[in-house]
């Protein structure tokens, strides 16, 4: 069997390793336009921050290691066309192009940053963060800089804020939505902002509800931004963390169906609409387990699981990928921000009848050293009583409260069923009634007579 | 309505507060033989350790605070008899005795330590830990001591080991079972011991598979122990953490049914076998959610929930207590020890067909600072595929992996269903595939063809 994989960061690398293990006699090739393969892009903010100094720490598996396992990796090889009828792809490397045939093809082309179409966005010192070299460039620039602007206050923007503040830069974060971290409900986003603003060991500010109208420059270099209201903010460099889009163009051009979300449509076996072609990772659409709708939530943990699932099916096994909950966590300075399932605003849009409970508690018994605060919001449907999602911010451990909910979403538990949960308790770890259970009991009272 | 509660540590205190809130016009009285009411007995090891120096920190609510809420607390009042037909109880305070009538009675008499019936167990400097004054006595003695013996290596024994080691005592822990922490499966207990023995900043040792035959003394003071094999261990004091029994005598003498476990039999509404009498907390039997069997697992978190449930029903509302999973966590030095559900050995005894997977992983991506190791064992039934339980030891966060499993046990999920879980991921918090999911995938392969 001749297996070709396009893309090799998370899903592609995982699929290659897994399929080779399942079919040791097969030929497995990875083609990637990237300069590196199999790396932790989620780790880039921590490399930039300086938690470790060698970027190679981020490499999960090198080209040589793949080679030793019998997998050929072709870096800086761009796949420009898929010919499903001929079962081959057109690969370009520098000036050369060649046709490579496959029995099974796995598309794992990932996603790429998008930047708003504004004046100055092509200037030097304007960065996006996706690949290893982006991380190296940003770190290098940061080390010789005193100030930065981050455009966009989502996960990556916030992780870079931490990195820059810890390196003593003056940082401005500008977010066109009214609230930072707009994936969260507004009440939680507001609390995140307040909590971050209480962090005193840094020089940073947020501008919200306002976009960037122009990137200012001097010659070929950016020197700052102009906001929509005309405010000018000087900065030594600018990072655009304004979102990502799936890399679907080659799939689309070969006739593979694209889903309503703009990512490649796949079934539970990670098969695309064309025989013998699979897709996984950030380029593929996912099914949301709570809403049952197709969504596009690109996350490294999902990519990894989808790569594994695709590999099993490509190898002739059987594995279903059940979908996602959109579970995520990010850290910025003193604040853990984590969520799973639907937000209250999403649930409302999707036609649910959401209600929620919000509690602010200590994460451990208050008399213990290092007890810290944690805010939890839990969301359920008033009509069915089913849990829909949760958001948690505050101390380290907020994320683990979220993970204590994901299997309830998988199992479609009601709030009432969840309220009888039996968590571990000891003073160094939690309160007698964990904040999560506390929130659930309050929510239960809003929904059921039996709470 | 005239509500009387016997006992006021966790379940009793919670029940009193809740019932008064639900029925503000009722009379609520707590009678307790204890010198304190409403305190965190789970916090005593941390008071002894010196995490805080005033024992009053452990008091959740004082007699005065109860009084302000209209609840009368009678300390050092021993209830010696319940007369169900007359709806009254006999209460003794010093030399006086009086009959106190009730409309509804809640028994929350808790549990007490038991010590083996060996020579010397009545000597001074031999302690047990249950009440506030036990904690004060042990701390006082510890501060003037150089060595201690702890008899019994369960949760409390291990928490005291930490306290004594942090206070630079030489400590010997003796456990008659072959393994320490015998609630865990032997393989995990063995790993706990190895991990603790790798902790270098203390002078302590474990003796296992051997009991204490005698407590040695000089005059009225204990000076050490003699083991069953004749070994003599000198120590300035001894703490017996050899188990607890439920305080059921007054219930039993009044004709209330005692369950097969030796604790008071209650239904889901916390009602005993006699009308208008409820029981909750450590004196009451519980139903195990996984096995469906009656068990006696006395834990503070359960007591709290049962107290709340009893109060709601006493007040004329309706609340069912669904049962327990036996979820617990304890810390000793560098090691978090946590479990939920059935152990493999328990499952086997109960007639399940258990199989398990054990993984040793880092708790965060290895390149992050403070990445630490975590060992997880997950257990499921081979025939049904249902999850039965889990055990986790190692870094802080091991307990939160256990809490990420409890709702799966509540929801009766199979390993296969759980394997599609969607956890949060970011390098400071976990690995791309969390160790728990990793363990679950391995377990799934042992059970299902679809993994």
The conformational region for residue A402 under phi > 0 = left, psi -120 to 50 = alpha, else beta, is alpha
pTM over 0.95? The answer is no
Maximum alpha-carbon separation in chain A: 71
The token duo for B408 is: 């799966």
Measured between CA atoms, how close is B218 to chain A, in angstroms? 37
3-state secondary structure B53-104: CCHHHHECCCHHHHHHCCEEEECCCEEEEEECCCCEEEEEECCEEEEEECCE
> Which residues of chain B have a CB within 8 Å of the CB of A424?
301, 327-329, 338-340, 399, 402-403
For the cut 90, the answer to whether the pLDDT of residue B95 exceeds it is no
Per-residue model confidence (pLDDT) at position A370: 85
Q: How far is CA A356 from CA A289, A411, A441, B157, B313, in A?
A: 19, 20, 11, 41, 26
Which tokens is A356 given?
A: 């929620």
- The rounded percent of chain B whose pLDDT value lies above 90 is 96
Q: What is the pLDDT of residue B448?
A: 80
What's residue A93's pLDDT? Answer: 92
Non-local CB neighbours of B311 within 8 Å, separated by 6+ positions? B14, B15, B16, B17, B18, B19, B22, B106
Within 8 A by CB and 6+ apart from B352, the residues are B342, B381, B388
Q: What pLDDT, on a 0 to 100 scale, did the predictor assign at position B242?
A: 96
- pLDDT per residue over B269-326, tens digit each? 999 999 999 999 999 999 999 999 999 999 999 999 999 999 999 999 999 999 999 9
What residues in A contact B132, CB-CB < 8 Å?
none
Determine whether the interchain pair B330/A426 forms a contact, defined as Cβ–Cβ distance below 8 Å.
yes
Mutate to test the interface with A, among B46, B368, B403 (most CBs of A within 10 A): B403
| d(C-alpha B248, C-alpha B263), whole Å | 6
pLDDT for the residue numbered A369: 87
Tell me if chain B has a CB within 8 Å of the CB of A418: yes
CB contact under 8 A, B426 and A299: no
Closest-approach residue (CA) in chain B for A396: B429
Are B283 and B246 a contacting pair, CB within 8 Å?
Answer: yes
Q: Please check whether residue B337 touches A, CB under 8 A.
A: no
A413 CB within 8 Å of a chain B CB: yes
Residue B420: pLDDT above 90? Answer: no
Residue whose pair of structure tokens reads 């916390």 in the numeric block: B270
Q: How many CB atoms lie within 10 A of CB A67?
A: 11
Tell which of A387, A395, A403, A430 to mutate to test the B interface (max B CBs under 10 Å): A403
Q: Which helix (H) or strand (E) holds B13?
A: helix B11-22
Q: Measured between alpha carbons, how far is B34 from B41 in angstroms, rounded to an integer?
A: 12
Distance, CA of A205 to CA of A173 (rounded, Å): 6
Which of A140, A151, A139, A126 has its CA nearest to residue A218?
A126
Alpha helices (runs of H) in B167-297, residue ranges in sequence order: 186-197, 249-253
With an 8 Å Cβ cutoff, is B54 touching chain A? no
The closest of B240, B209, B210, B204 to B222, measured between CA atoms, is B240
Q: Which A residues 115-154 touch B at CB under 8 Å?
A: none
> In the numeric block, which tokens belong to residue B5?
């509660």
What is the per-residue DSSP string for B360-426?
EEESS-TTSTT--EEEEEEEEETTT-BEEEEEEEESTTHHHHHHHHHHHHHTT-BHHHHHT------
Asked if B120 and B217 touch (Cβ cutoff 8 Å), the reply is yes
- Tens-level pLDDT at each residue, chain A (451 residues): 999 999 999 999 999 999 999 999 999 999 999 999 999 999 999 999 999 999 999 999 999 999 999 999 999 999 999 999 999 999 999 889 999 999 999 999 999 999 999 999 999 999 999 999 999 999 999 999 999 999 999 999 999 999 999 999 999 999 999 999 999 999 999 999 999 999 999 999 999 999 999 999 999 999 999 999 999 999 999 999 999 999 999 999 999 999 999 999 999 999 999 999 999 999 999 999 999 999 999 999 999 999 999 999 999 999 999 999 999 999 999 999 999 999 999 999 999 999 999 999 999 998 998 899 999 999 999 999 999 999 999 999 999 999 999 999 999 999 999 988 999 999 999 998 899 999 999 999 999 876 6
**The token pair that represents A423 in the structure block:** 């968590």
Q: Is the CB of residue A291 less than 8 Å away from at least one CB of chain B?
A: no
pLDDT digits (tens, 9 = 90+) for B27-63: 999 999 999 999 999 999 999 999 999 999 999 999 9
Nearest to B406 among A399, A421, A432 (CB): A421
In which band, very low, low, confident or very high, does the pLDDT at B203 lie, cut at 50, 70 and 90? very high
Q: Closest Cα partner for B77 from B105, B55, B99, B54?
A: B99
Is B105 in contact with B6 (CB distance < 8 Å)? Answer: yes
| pLDDT (mean) for B424-436 | 93
Residue A95: the pLDDT is 87
Catalytic residues of B: 42
Q: Describe the crossing of helices A132-143 and A155-166 by its angle, rounded to 10 degrees.
A: 40
The contacts of residue B285 (CB under 8 Å, 6+ apart) are: B259, B260, B261, B263, B264, B265, B266, B294, B295, B296
Residues B321-350 have pLDDT tens digits of 999 999 999 999 999 999 999 999 999 999
Buried (b) or exposed (e) across A425-450, using 16+ Cβ within 10 A?
A: bbbbbbbbbbbbbbbbbbbbeebeee
Task: Find the closest chain A residue to B324 by CA distance.
Answer: A422
Q: Would you say A324 and A286 are in contact if contact means Cβ atoms under 8 Å apart?
A: yes
Chain A residues close to B433, C-beta within 8 Å = 301, 304-305
Considering only CB atoms, B432 lies closest to which of A301, A404, A411, namely: A301
């Amino acid at each position: 069997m001749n297996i070709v994989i396009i893309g090799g960061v998370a899903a592609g690398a995982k699929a290659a390793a897994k399929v080779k293990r399942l079919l040791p006699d097969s030929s497995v090739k990875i083609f990637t336009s990237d300069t590196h393969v199999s790396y932790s892009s989620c780790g880039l903010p921590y490399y930039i921050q300086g938690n470790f100094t060698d970027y190679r720490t981020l490499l999960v598996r090198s080209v040589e290691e793949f080679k030793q396992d019998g997998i050929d990796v072709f870096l800086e090889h761009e796949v420009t066309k898929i010919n499903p009828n001929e079962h081959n792809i057109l690969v370009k490397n520098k000036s050369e192009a060649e046709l490579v045939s496959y029995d099974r093809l796995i598309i794992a082309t990932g996603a790429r940053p998008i930047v708003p179409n504004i004046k100055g966005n092509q200037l030097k010192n304007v960065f996006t963060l996706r690949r290893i070299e982006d991380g190296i460039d940003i770190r290098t620039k940061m080390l010789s800089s005193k100030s930065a602007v981050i455009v966009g206050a989502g996960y990556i923007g916030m992780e870079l804020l931490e990195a820059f503040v810890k390196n003593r830069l003056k940082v401005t974060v500008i977010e066109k939505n009214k609230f930072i971290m707009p994936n969260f409900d507004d009440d939680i986003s507001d609390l995140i902002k307040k909590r971050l603003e209480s962090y005193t060991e840094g020089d940073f500010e947020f501008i919200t509800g306002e976009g960037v109208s122009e990137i200012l420059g001097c010659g070929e270099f950016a020197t700052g931004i102009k906001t929509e209201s005309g405010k000018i903010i000087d900065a030594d460099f600018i990072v655009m963390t304004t979102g990502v889009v799936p890399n679907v163009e080659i799939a689309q051009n070969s006739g593979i169906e694209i889903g309503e979300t703009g990512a490649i449509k796949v079934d539970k076996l990670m098969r695309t609409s064309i025989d013998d072609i699979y897709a996984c990772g950030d380029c593929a659409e996912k099914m949301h387990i709570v809403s049952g709708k197709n969504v596009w939530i690109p996350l490294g943990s999902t990519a990894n699981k989808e790569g594994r699932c695709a590999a099993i099916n490509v190898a002739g096994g059987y594995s279903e990928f059940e979908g996602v909950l959109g579970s995520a966590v990010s850290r910025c300075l003193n604040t853990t921000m984590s969520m799973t399932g639907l937000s209250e605003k999403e649930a409302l849009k999707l036609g649910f009848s959401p209600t929620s409970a919000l509690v602010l508690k200590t994460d451990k018994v208050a008399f213990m050293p290092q007890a810290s605060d944690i805010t939890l919001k839990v969301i359920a449907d008033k009509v069915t009583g089913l849990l829909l999602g949760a958001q948690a911010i505050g101390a380290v451990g907020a994320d683990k409260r979220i993970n204590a909910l994901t299997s309830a979403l998988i199992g479609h538990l009601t709030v009432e069923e969840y309220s009888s949960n039996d968590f571990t308790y000891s003073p160094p770890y939690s309160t007698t009634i964990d904040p999560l259970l506390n929130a659930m009991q309050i929510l239960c009272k809003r929904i059921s007579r039996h709470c």
